[in-house]
Amino acid sequence: MASLDPAKVIRRVRQRLELSQEALSRLLNATKGAVQHWERGRNNPDLARLLVLRQLCAPGPERRELDALIRQTQAQVAPLPSGRQFPAGKGKRTGRPGRALPLYPSENFALLRREKLRLERQVSKLRSALDRRGEQLRILEDLATDLQRQMARLRAGQPDKDDAPRSPSPSTAS
């Protein structure tokens, strides 16, 4: 079997999906630089990312090339026991055109679970930061309203409530 050029396959699949390098990097939980390195042939994506990429790719020539690249990578990195290979084109359909269920669900679920936990932590941090900023904004708005009232009183020639002379209480008056 002739060796495939992973850089060309990754680029063709990305272009078929009509994604930028940055968008693909987000989908694969990688950096934009990593995708650039893959497409330039400096590095190759790991098997888990190739499997996720396969799930995103609709059936066609790019997906067949990706399947061949997965088999090639699998043979180099992590051969299956007893000479089994990545089953190209297998997997149950989900009802959506071009989308197949994961062939190796435990790997994909673990990746998705980690990503979900990371995103939940990030959302939690962002919510608490938003709450703090909201409280700070409320305080600043209250201060601005008080200052506007004081400025309006001063312009009108009325003394400020704090500066107004106090009248004697009825019990101290003679």
Q: What is the pLDDT of residue 113?
A: 79
- Overall number of domains in the chain: 2
DSSP label of 59? S
What rounded mean pLDDT belongs to the chain?
79
Specify the pTM: 0.46
Six token digits for residue 48: 């888990």
Residue partners of 35: CB distance under 8 A and separation at least 6: 10, 14, 21, 22, 24, 25, 28
End position of a domain, from candidates 101, 119, 147: 101
- 104-152 pLDDT, tens digit each: 555 566 777 788 888 899 899 999 999 999 999 999 999 999 999 999 9
CA distance 51 to 49: 5
On whether residue 172 sits in a domain, the answer given is no
Does residue 98 carry a pLDDT above 50?
no
CA nearest neighbour of 45 among 59, 31, 65: 31
Question: 77 and 41 in one domain?
Answer: yes
Residues 78 and 121 in one domain: no
Q: Residue 63 belongs to a domain with what CATH number?
A: 1.10.260.40
Same domain, 24 and 80: yes
Q: Is 43 in the same domain as 77?
A: yes
pLDDT average, residue stretch 50-56: 90
SS3 content of the chain, % helix, strand, coil (to 5): 65, 0, 35
* Residue where one domain finishes, among candidates 57, 75, 101: 101
**Tokens at residue 54, please?**
């396969």
Specify if 164 maps to a domain: no
C-alpha 113: how far from its chain's center?
14
Question: What is the domain range of residue 132?
Answer: 104-156
